[in-house]
Amino acid sequence: AQKVTQAQTEISVVEKEDVTLDCVYETRDTTYYLFWYKQPPSGELVFLIRRNSFDEQNEISGRYSWNFQKSTSSFNFTITASQVVDSAVYFCALMRVNFGNEKLTFGTGTRLTIIP
């Protein structure tokens, strides 16, 4: 069975601080995808990143960076110099890569509040 754990339910940091959101996953598959989505107060889920299980390179996109470590089954997300607009619920998700079974398994989400 697939499982995604986001142990941090809520995090609050002061603006301009760095913050890391943790994501730990469980799967028996050797091939899978990992995702991060952002859900601002308006409700829509915004796609942030997709990572293939064979690609362990860390990725940076502006103030966002992701650390994928297969050895610890973790896919952590860091926001550098946080801004108020970063306040949202962030979901980590796992997807199997089997024909006909490409469903997303979501974590429970981390509510991030950036304090001005």
Q: Which residues are at the interface with other proteins (CB under 8 A)?
A: 33, 35, 37, 42-47, 50, 91, 95, 97, 102-104, 106-109, 111
Distance in Å, CB of 18 to other proteins, minimum: 25
Rounded-to-integer distance, Cα 4 and Cα 96, Å: 12
Among residues 63 and 103, whose Cβ is nearest to other proteins? 103
CA distances to 4, 5, 48, 81 from 60, rounded to whole Å, are: 22, 23, 11, 14
- Considering only CA atoms, give the Rg of the chain: 14
Among residues 35 and 66, whose Cβ is nearest to other proteins? 35
Distance in Å, CB of 19 to other proteins, minimum: 20
Among residues 47 and 54, whose Cβ is nearest to other proteins? 47
21-49: buried (b, 16+ CB within 10 Å) or exposed (e) per residue? bbbbbebeeeebbbbbbbeeeeeeeeebb
Among residues 70 and 103, whose Cβ is nearest to other proteins? 103
- Which one-letter amino acid corresponds to residue 103? K
Distance in Å, CB of 41 to other proteins, minimum: 12
Distance in Å, CB of 44 to other proteins, minimum: 4
